[in-house]
Structure 1
Amino acid sequence: MVHRNAPLTPEGRRRLVERCRTRPIAHVAAEMGISRATASKWVNRYRRFGELGLRDRSSAPIRQPTATPGETVAKIEIMRRERKWPAARIAFELVADDVTISRRTVTRYLDQLGLNRRRFIDPDGENNREVRKIVAKHPGHMVHLDVKKTGRIPDGGGWRAFGRGSSEAKAVARTKTRGARAGYIYLHSAIDGHTRLAYTEALENEQASTAIAFLERARDWFTQHGIVKIERIITDNGSCYRSRAFAEVLNGAEHRRTKPYTPKHNGKIERYNRILSEELLCARTWTSEAQRASALTTWNLHYNYHRPHGAHRGKPPASATPACVNNVLASYI
């Protein structure tokens, strides 16, 4: 691989060889800004190997005593293509066959073979594993919790209101340098997996005590809509959800945490966060945090009682609750 500062490319080496046919190597080397040894190297390679000698050679050593045998690499490819096993499973099976190899080594060879992604094995997806949906059987079967962290809006508006580089934005930046940081607002949300009924509050932090208090208020709010029992609570692995205090206030509900770095396992609340961001947080320019907090309360009513939802064929989430609350007036808009 030719780096960006290389004075010679394959075409430049060919021109070097042509010039050295009738002129001294030292003169041509000085003219092209390279050493005589380098020019002599390419001329000798051309005389010995022809055009192939002008190509870049691999920097790998000729002899590699600790290299993985070719038979092992072939086994890795067969296991991946035929059984579609991940690197960890392939390494486990090889170790069981008395082949010493690490998972990282298997991963590296899968990348070299072009098999590191599942879609590379079956581009049409014919033999891929079937997608398993997370389905809540009835209201209260699954309630998903999550926290969305967003920047606090300074009074008068931030750079979104006046533009970057404006005098107002610079004034806000100067207050930050003096120690008066704007900080963040934490949007705690709970959504019922069956009805998609959602409850959101803007709170000061994401500590365990805050998450516990929010869960109690969310449970009361769901009760008002006919969801009197929560059977399962789904969260990520945030510190507030892993605390012992949080486990003590579940009231008999099963607590399931998603696999680390796998937000799709809590996809309903993640999708709700995206809707919240698109339709409220980034939908307009806010001039203060109080203004946005007030709009959040209004938007919660709109989402639950008036906004059409695809899971209910265009009806709002409140229409699927046991209480069937669907007659809320739109006078709040």
Structure 2
Amino acid sequence: MSHANAALTPRARLRLARIVVNDGFTYASAAKMFMVSPRTAKKWADRYRLEGPAGMADRSSRPHTSPTRTRPEVVRQIVRLRWRHRLGPVQIGGRLGLQASTVHAVLVRCRVNRLSHIDRVTGEPLRRYEHPHAGSLIHVDVTKFVNIPDGGGHKFLTRQQSKLNARATAQRTGERGKHYRPLIGTAYVHTVIDDHSRVAYAEIHTDEKAATAIGVLQRATAWFADHGVTIERVLSDNGSAYRSYAWRDACAELGITAKRTRPYRPQTNGKIERFHRTLGDGWAYARLYNSTDQRNDALPGWLHFYNHHRVHSAIGANTPVSRLTNVPGHHN
């Protein structure tokens, strides 16, 4: 396909060249016929004489040499400052004595012009991956939310009112911590998300022990099976529950290959870490809850909304369930 500013298509170039070379037209008359300059007509005629019809194809307009192009050693300095110090074009140009436009052109060429393309910890360009089909890999993890005292917590109320609610809740439940402080407790949300489709499953528990994590995996496997998905691999962090022999044996019994992320490298499990942020914004902190039970009761409805109605930018602005092509009853 010709570029946007091409005066002639390859077919028109061939016609122009043939009437000059084969039919004896002058460059000026052929150029007038095709509404181009005589110089252009000569260029295509000469190329036709040397290469034949193959010479009519588009070529890169990039020059063979670029004497003013930024030197490779300077490019390395620019990229190093970008990776290690997260500096912008103006700051990098000030350090190296370059124009900001020159620095920006180098960053674009090296694909590090946006900080969102760079890993925050290592400074390396992000390497994204996605497994080819649903069930090829699931991510599992646990996120924690503080329980809500009767009447609401500090996210929507004042600190003073939140403390009063916590004391009233402790009087009702009798739960007290150190120095007789009200003990509200913690909700451990065990989450499972499919790598390919981003379909999510979650349960709320009072701990993150191996037995609890295994039970969640077993029920999640059955839930995915009801949606036509067979789990092949599971990726977890290095928490004690996932390093236990019980977890290993449970995965083997389910026919699932257990995998763990590299220590101190949560980015490998980034899909579920990002889901936790969405979970907090969309469910845990979305509105005022008057009790923990009220918040817990809202989780199934929000998960249904997330899976079936909320579009996901990472999968082309589609809903997660749309990537499950074999859900029973989905195409009825």
Fold match by TM threshold 0.5: yes
State the shift of 1:294 in Å. 0.7
Contact map agreement 1:161 1:287 (CA 8 A) in 2: no
The answer for unaligned runs of 5 or more in structure 1 is: 1-77, 86-113, 329-333
* Alpha-carbon distance between aligned partners in 2 of 1:134 and 1:314, rounded to the nearest angstrom: 17
Shift of 1:244: 0.7
Is the Cα–Cα contact under 8 Å of residues 193 and 199 in structure 2 kept in the other structure? yes
- State the alpha-carbon separation in 2 of the partners of residues 252 and 223 from structure 1: 13
Structure 2 residue 242 is the aligned partner of structure 1 residue 225: no
**Matched residue of 1:156: which SS?**
coil
- Partner of 2:273 in structure 1? 270
Residues 181-200 of structure 1: matches in 2 within 5 Å? 181-200=183-202
Question: Conserved in 1, the CA contact under 8 Å of 2:150 and 2:166?
Answer: no
Deviates more, 1:126-135 or 1:304-313: 126-135
Residue 235 of structure 1: aligned partner: 236
Paired with 2:86 and 2:313, the residues of 1 have a C-alpha distance of: 29
Residues 5-24 of structure 1 aligned to structure 2 (within 5 Å): none
**What letter matches 2:242 in structure 1?**
Y
Give CA-to-partner distance per residue, 1:72-113, whole Å, 9 cap, x none.
Answer: xxxxxx9xx79x99xxxxxxxxxxxxxxxxxxxxxxxxxxxx
Helix, strand or coil for the counterpart of 1:189?
strand
Q: Match of 2:164?
A: 170
Structure-2 residue corresponding to 1:97: none
Matches of 2:293 and 2:325, distance apart in 1: 33
Query: Which residue identity is paired with 1:204?
Result: T
- When residues 193 and 115 of structure 1 are mapped into structure 2, their CA distance, relative to the original with a 3 A threshold, is closer
For 2:16, the equivalent position in structure 1 comes to none
| Percent identity (aligned) | 37
Counterparts of 1:18-57 in structure 2 under 5 Å? none
Conserved in 2, the CA contact under 8 Å of 1:225 and 1:322? no
1:320 to 302, 320, 323: 323
Which residue is 2:287 aligned to? 284
- In the TM superposition, residue 155 of structure 1 has moved relative to its aligned partner by 2.4
C-alpha separation in 2, matches of 1:295 and 1:271: 20
- Report the CA distance between 1:157 and its aligned residue: 2.1
Aligned CA distance change for structure 1 residues 163 and 326 (closer, same or farther; 3 Å): farther
Structure 1 CA distance, aligned partners of 2:143 and 2:248? 21
One-letter amino acid of the counterpart of residue 182, structure 1? I
Structure 2 residue matching 1:165: 3-state secondary structure: helix
Secondary structure at the aligned position of 2:250 is classed as coil
Distance 1:171 1:295 in 2: 21
1:310 correspondence with 2:313: yes
Q: Which residue of 2 aligns with 1:30?
A: none
SS at 2:151's partner residue? coil
Judging changes above 3 Å, is the alpha-carbon distance between structure 1 residues 241 and 307 closer, same or farther for their aligned structure 2 residues?
A: same
Over aligned residue pairs, what C-alpha RMSD do you find? 3.0
| 2:267 is aligned with 1:261 | no
Q: Does 1:245 align with 2:246?
A: yes
The number of aligned residues is: 218
Q: TM-score, normalised by structure 1?
A: 0.58
- 1:46 aligns with none
1:194 partner letter: H
Instruction: Quote the Cα distance in structure 1 between the aligned partners of 2:216 and 2:263.
Output: 23
